[in-house]
Structure 1
Amino acid sequence: LTGSARASAASLLAHLHYIAGEGAYAAVALDTALDADPEWSLAVLLSRALHSGAHPAMLWATVGYSYELAASLGVDLPQPTMARVG
């Protein structure tokens, strides 16, 4: 993948690592996303949160919003399987 597709995939991977409490892996994925597209909004937001020291548990609210958004678009997502952090 290249460009925005790479940034999107890497941002989603970063989010998964971040909420799992794996900040180092999240940072690598975010670097990849921002290298692919420096203005990719999810990557920018996650990077700012990570570098500001936001606790991973704060991101769990975005999971619920993501499911609501997907449902409103007619997309059926599988239920999350990771345990909550902290």
Structure 2
Amino acid sequence: MNWKRLGIGIIIIVLLAAGGYWVYAQFLAPPADNSQNGPAGDQIAAEEVDLNIVSAEGQIVPLNDALLSFQLGGEIQEILA
């Protein structure tokens, strides 16, 4: 490989990387949050909540499990009492 092809290849890679960054910055990147230091246009009032109420959901599961099935299939011939 000669130096001319290497230089052209590097230039193409740099141009592709710059183009990819431009496409990302223009179309795919989330919008910048510019309201950090400026006056707030839309102010949201804080909602007053009761701190003594907890809302939660979940499932109750047993601490230990037991396998309650036979390991072999078949018919029962006799039940001993």
TM above 0.5, yes or no, is no
The one of the two structures with greater contact order (alpha-carbon pairs below 8 A, sep at least 6) is: 1
TM-score, length basis structure 2: 0.26
Larger Rg: 2
TM-score (norm 1): 0.25
Per residue, is there more helix in 1 or in 2? 1
